[in-house]
Structure 1
Amino acid sequence: MASLNPFRDINVTASETHYTFRSPSTPDAPALVVARPSGDIKLTDSPKPGGKRVTSIAGILGIIKLRLDKYIIIITKAQLVGRIRGHMVYKVLATEFLPMRERQLHDADEDLYLTLLRTHLRTGPMYFSYTFDLTNSFQRQSAADLAAPLWQRADDRFFWNRYIASDLIDLRSSNPAVDPYILPTFFGFLTIATTAINSTPCTFILITRRSRHRAGTRYFTRGLDVAGNAGNFNETEQIIVLGDSAGGLGGHGFSAQNLSPANTKSSLDSEQAQVFSHVQTRGSIPVYWSELNTLKFTPTLQIKGIDHALPAARKHLSEHIRLYGETHLVNLINQSGREAHIKAAYESAVKLLTPAPSEHQESSFVTPERFREIAPTGTAAGGLLDRLYYVYFDFHHECRNMQWHRAQLLLDKLPLGEHRYFHSVGSGHMASVKSWQTGVVRTNCMDCLDRTNVVQSIIARTVLAQQMIDAGVIPPGTNTAAYTNFEALFRNAWADNADVVSRAYSGTGALKTDYTRTGVRTKAGAIADASNSATRYIRNNFADGPRQDAFDLFLGVHLPSPSTGPLRLSTDRRPVLVQAVPYLFAAAAFFLLAALLLPRGAAPQPLPIGVFALCWLGVGVWAAGFLVRFGVLYVKWPVLNPPQFCVEAVLKAGKEVERDVVVGRWVAGGGEGALKGHRVRKSVFGIEKLEEGKKRIE
């Protein structure tokens, strides 16, 4: 019978005809053989001899097919980050690509694909365990079928390498012995620390799992898709384990070179250990909306009709209630300015979906709307959606000047006590569940980052205090913030979590984490926030396109097509004159500064310096105006699977440039076209929509 858990140790042997993977600690298990160059996989008890041992690895992430070749992605180095109930948990530190072809073929597109994947794996925090299901909360694990292999118990939303593991999963239908070669990982944040609260030893764990559905970067994955998946959807679980000290590192570090069974054994101090778990979620506002980068600091907000978004919103919210129970939607965006439009769209969708909705509004001295609540009436009967509640909180005004303690006003509107939390005693089949979490808070702001982090950490502290009071660890009426050492750990864990979630989505750490860490706003924190804001602007306009391509490639949203001719994905197809405008602007700025600052000689000049400066001033003003008008042509868009609103914006800007009185005659000829036999919707202005590589529907 095949092992239910993945192999901890795998040796790789390579030859000209095949790769062989085998666990030296399980010699009776069949070997996994991948044929070269076809990439066909099989299990065999008697693999062909020969070849050389390449390395000992921590696991196989999966197999991916690019344009010219297939590659096996292996984990060559992993770091132990702690133990959860005695189960070792690791972070992926290094990976390697094993090509199918002995003599690799190279072209610009294949190299671009590999660069995108390597960057994604190097920068994306991914975690795994050989014996513990990290993709599911403790509550969902309590109902899992422990007779199923680990990968089958994984939550499909958070099984980050599910797409590239599909070849191994497909083999499983004919040979279950492949199970130990399938290693599920999740993308997100994880911290484990042994600590104490009021002299009671405990293990503190914080996990944030990012959904692989509609994953991507800040401005390219807003709102919902047609399947009801929300951009930047994360599930955060806070866990306290009492009576189990097997949570820390124990002074040992591990890598793929020393992951042996002898090094991974651990035991619980007590079978009566108690687990307290609480889950929150965050996700983009569940309607059809986007923000179009135009090089301006504030992108252009676009909202599609609410009626069109209702089916997707119903799917998303119904599934959320099915998975988590009663759902309170907490909305933290501004009620004025540009954010007011998306707030109105969100509330319209909620009112249309909520059966027999009742609405309540509460004002303050500053604004007419401190709170807005939408709830089903007591007689409503709308299926799952009669468990949907909406709470708008004017975070911007109520918590201005870093008065985040005023978020307590919001907590008074949330039935956290009724939602309860998960509590179990014991482990494995002997565990006894004492309490279930029956509801969850789904929080959002515009990006689901900075304001969302603040509110989630406050909710987490409130629930944690109630858990510890119920457990008898702290006296009634007190809070864990009174215990200095634990409070520092708690603050830093939530600040680190905020940074990781923000970095994956926006490219920088979260804002205002100095306050989260210390409870005090500092000058250094303000400077760091200014730096992060500037960095976000640069990355969101000039670096997020390739990052989005990396998400789409790794997760199977874009499927490279085996083509006979190059696609030249990295080629800039904008007219040379359009490409040259930023350089003209830079040259104008340089020559103007030179005219103003450099010393002037006594000899007569063939061109008066004033005329020279005036000419370059004219060039600079024209170039600046061109960049402002046609900023969308200078954004680094995704090229593998560009969002439709990006394609439309670039095509529209291209047509406007063609009508420009200065450069129009030099750039005419864009529009629809074809590329090397591939049907392409493209413009000479640098963005295209390949019909190959559409989103894979599993």
Structure 2
Amino acid sequence: MSSPCANAQCCPHNLYFSTGGEYASGIGPSLTILRFQTEQFTLKDGPVRITLFSRRCNRRLGTRMWRRGANLEGATANFVETEQLVEYEGLTSSFIQVRGSIPLLWEQIVDLSYKPRPSIIEHEEMTNVVQRHFHDLLQRYGDTMVIDLTDKQGDEGNLSNAFAAEMEKFPDIRHVHFDFHHICGGGKFDNLQALYDEIEEAILKQGFNYCLDRTNVTQSFLARKSLDSQLQRMGALSSAESISQSDSINDKFKKLWVEHGDELSLEYAGSYALKGDLVRYGKQTLPGLIKDGMSALSRYYLNNFHDGVRQDALDLISGYYTVSKSSSSPFQVIGFEPYLPVASAIIVGGITVTTFTLSQVGRSAQHLISSIIFAGLTAGMVALVKANGKQLCSRPRLCGLI
């Protein structure tokens, strides 16, 4: 693929960078505009306009926990194309990144735990699913390089290792792993430079990459690198200049990407994106940590008690589920969901009474006995809720996971 276009009449999609998933090039029936925003500033007495488009694929549409991985056709969940369009003195240049879930068959069923364990679905079609996924990418974009940003340890490490094993079956596709949390932990955002150094030659050579997860922080870093290159080639910057040298321009660029991440996160997870201050300030701040904490709590609530109904609504309006008069209602079997408020009330009440009776223990032995009884009842109810976590959560009922 060629470098950024030097002619405003050329196709604006001549420089591609991808960070995950797959995409049907152009706005077709499987793609909808999710976000559109623009910023303008001046360089060398000329106006520069940056426009950020986000387009979401509807081939595996859904909420964060109930749509993970790929379906049997190879379409991935949370697939979004983001295009950074730059205009300067009649020239137009475009930089595209694509993000999406790891293209394996896997699930992460909510069960009231803070972080449900991801689980790989054993299926004879697994390799064919990955093959369909990359066949589609290669047909649409040509040469592809995979950048995997998942952890190498724990349950996520198992998912990453399974993906790496599948990628070994595709020797023509380069696979790069970058443990984002380990390398960039503690707000060491600048360590992303190590990733860029590793893939820079491939970016300049083929203009296209493919990456997974830890999306907005990494995407914004790479987009800034691309923006410098685009503006240098268009003559708005010299080869030694960067937008980061101007606080006002850099702030506008960061604002675009922070709001971009928030919008995509709201669509998929139901809350603002985490680590937004890393994009805006290059480090984590106390207000950012507080905001992340609130977003994490919001995600927990929505994932466990709301997203099942939301997923059903998405499946219905997108046409993946068709109502049939001859079929019984999928909502007849409701499981334990209605009992969760009662169980929650008992737990809260038990904790309150136990705390109160403990504070009165010094007055009589009866309060001690009452504390033990209420503490035991509360612990028993907590154990019962934990054991039946999957049944108590809001679950989609219209369509299967894959």
Residue 281 (structure 1) aligns with: 98
| Unaligned ranges ≥5, structure 2 | 1-10, 15-25
Counterpart residue type for residue 285 of structure 2? T
Counterpart residue type for residue 311 of structure 2? Q
* Cα distance in 1 between the residues matched to 2:385 and 2:320: 32
| Structure 1 residues 225 and 642, CA gap change in structure 2 (3 angstroms) | closer
| Equivalent position to 1:409, from 194, 201, 208 | 194
Residue 442 (structure 1) aligns with: 210
| Equivalent position to 2:29, from 151, 156, 162 | 156
| Equivalent position to 1:557, from 320, 341, 351 | 320
| Structure 1 residues 559 and 594, CA gap change in structure 2 (3 angstroms) | same
* Cα distance in 1 between the residues matched to 2:184 and 2:52: 25
Checking the alignment, whether the CA contact within 8 Å between 1:306 and 1:345 is kept in structure 2 is: no
Figure out how many residues of one structure are paired with residues of the other and give that number.
379
Residue 193 (structure 1) aligns with: 39
Counterpart residue type for residue 397 of structure 1? H
* Cα distance in 2 between the residues matched to 1:289 and 1:351: 19
| Structure 1 residues 621 and 562, CA gap change in structure 2 (3 angstroms) | same
Over the aligned positions, Cα root-mean-square deviation in angstroms equals 2.6
1:459 deviates by 1.2
Counterpart residue type for residue 321 of structure 1? L
Match runs of 1:177-188 below 5 Å: 186-188=32-34
SS of equivalent residue, structure 1 residue 205: strand
Match runs of 1:288-307 below 5 Å: 288-305=105-122
Residue 328 (structure 1) aligns with: 145
| Structure 1 residues 498 and 575, CA gap change in structure 2 (3 angstroms) | closer
| Structure 1 residues 618 and 400, CA gap change in structure 2 (3 angstroms) | closer
TM-score (norm 1): 0.51
| Structure 1 residues 307 and 596, CA gap change in structure 2 (3 angstroms) | same
* Cα distance in 1 between the residues matched to 2:109 and 2:357: 38
Residue 240 (structure 1) aligns with: 86
| Structure 1 residues 335 and 562, CA gap change in structure 2 (3 angstroms) | same
* Cα distance in 1 between the residues matched to 2:368 and 2:344: 24
Checking the alignment, whether the CA contact within 8 Å between 1:197 and 1:486 is kept in structure 2 is: no
Alignment of 1:345 onto 2:132: no
| Unaligned ranges ≥5, structure 1 | 1-136, 141-152, 159-185, 244-272, 358-385, 420-438, 446-450, 645-698
| Equivalent position to 2:245, from 443, 467, 482 | 482
Counterpart residue type for residue 528 of structure 1? K
1:199 deviates by 3.5
Checking the alignment, whether the CA contact within 8 Å between 1:237 and 1:277 is kept in structure 2 is: yes
| Structure 1 residues 614 and 545, CA gap change in structure 2 (3 angstroms) | same
Checking the alignment, whether the CA contact within 8 Å between 1:333 and 1:339 is kept in structure 2 is: yes
**CA-to-partner distance for each residue in 1:433-486, whole Å, 9 max, x for gaps?**
xxxxxx4222212xxxxx221111111111111111111111112212112222
Residue 394 (structure 1) aligns with: 179
Structure with more relative contact order (C-alpha pairs < 8 Å, separation 6 or more): 2
* Cα distance in 2 between the residues matched to 1:573 and 1:634: 7
Match runs of 1:17-416 below 5 Å: 138-139=12-13, 154-158=27-31, 186-243=32-89, 273-305=90-122, 308-352=125-169, 354=170, 357=171, 386=172, 388-414=173-199, 415-416=202-203
Checking the alignment, whether the CA contact within 8 Å between 1:306 and 1:348 is kept in structure 2 is: no
* Cα distance in 1 between the residues matched to 2:369 and 2:106: 49
Residue 377 (structure 2) aligns with: 619
SS of equivalent residue, structure 1 residue 139: coil
Counterpart residue type for residue 406 of structure 1? N
**Normalized per residue, which structure has more helix?**
2
1:322 deviates by 1.5
SS of equivalent residue, structure 2 residue 48: strand
| Structure 1 residues 475 and 328, CA gap change in structure 2 (3 angstroms) | same
Checking the alignment, whether the CA contact within 8 Å between 1:197 and 1:480 is kept in structure 2 is: no
* Cα distance in 2 between the residues matched to 1:618 and 1:347: 47
**CA-to-partner distance for each residue in 1:223-260, whole Å, 9 max, x for gaps?**
110111001111111001123xxxxxxxxxxxxxxxxx
1:288 deviates by 0.9
**CA-to-partner distance for each residue in 1:463-517, whole Å, 9 max, x for gaps?**
1111111111111122121122221110010111111111111111111111211
* Cα distance in 2 between the residues matched to 1:213 and 1:577: 35
TM-score (norm 2): 0.87
Counterpart residue type for residue 347 of structure 1? A
Residue 544 (structure 1) aligns with: 307
| Equivalent position to 1:462, from 217, 220, 225 | 225
* Cα distance in 1 between the residues matched to 2:234 and 2:338: 69
Checking the alignment, whether the CA contact within 8 Å between 1:281 and 1:440 is kept in structure 2 is: no
1:398 deviates by 2.0
| Structure 1 residues 328 and 542, CA gap change in structure 2 (3 angstroms) | same
1:617 deviates by 1.8
**CA-to-partner distance for each residue in 1:118-164, whole Å, 9 max, x for gaps?**
xxxxxxxxxxxxxxxxxxx8439xxxxxxxxxxxx842220xxxxxx
**CA-to-partner distance for each residue in 1:56-89, whole Å, 9 max, x for gaps?**
xxxxxxxxxxxxxxxxxxxxxxxxxxxxxxxxxx
Counterpart residue type for residue 548 of structure 1? Q
Residue 589 (structure 1) aligns with: 351
* Cα distance in 1 between the residues matched to 2:337 and 2:13: 57
Match runs of 1:654-665 below 5 Å: none
| Structure 1 residues 288 and 199, CA gap change in structure 2 (3 angstroms) | same
Checking the alignment, whether the CA contact within 8 Å between 1:416 and 1:463 is kept in structure 2 is: no
SS of equivalent residue, structure 1 residue 229: coil
**CA-to-partner distance for each residue in 1:585-626, whole Å, 9 max, x for gaps?**
2332232233235799x9xx9x93333332222211111111
**CA-to-partner distance for each residue in 1:367-422, whole Å, 9 max, x for gaps?**
xxxxxxxxxxxxxxxxxxx3x22111122222222121121111122222123xxx
Checking the alignment, whether the CA contact within 8 Å between 1:209 and 1:236 is kept in structure 2 is: yes
1:205 deviates by 0.3
* Cα distance in 1 between the residues matched to 2:124 and 2:244: 46
**CA-to-partner distance for each residue in 1:25-58, whole Å, 9 max, x for gaps?**
xxxxxxxxxxxxxxxxxxxxxxxxxxxxxxxxxx
| Structure 1 residues 576 and 404, CA gap change in structure 2 (3 angstroms) | closer
Checking the alignment, whether the CA contact within 8 Å between 1:330 and 1:444 is kept in structure 2 is: yes
| Structure 1 residues 401 and 580, CA gap change in structure 2 (3 angstroms) | closer
1:221 deviates by 0.8
| Structure 1 residues 576 and 490, CA gap change in structure 2 (3 angstroms) | closer
Checking the alignment, whether the CA contact within 8 Å between 1:443 and 1:456 is kept in structure 2 is: no
| Structure 1 residues 575 and 320, CA gap change in structure 2 (3 angstroms) | closer
Residue 418 (structure 1) aligns with: 205
- Specify the structure having the higher radius of gyration (Cα): 1
Checking the alignment, whether the CA contact within 8 Å between 2:357 and 2:367 is kept in structure 1 is: yes
| Structure 1 residues 518 and 198, CA gap change in structure 2 (3 angstroms) | farther
**CA-to-partner distance for each residue in 1:496-549, whole Å, 9 max, x for gaps?**
111111111111111111121133421111111111112211111111112211
| Structure 1 residues 577 and 397, CA gap change in structure 2 (3 angstroms) | closer
Residue 643 (structure 1) aligns with: 401
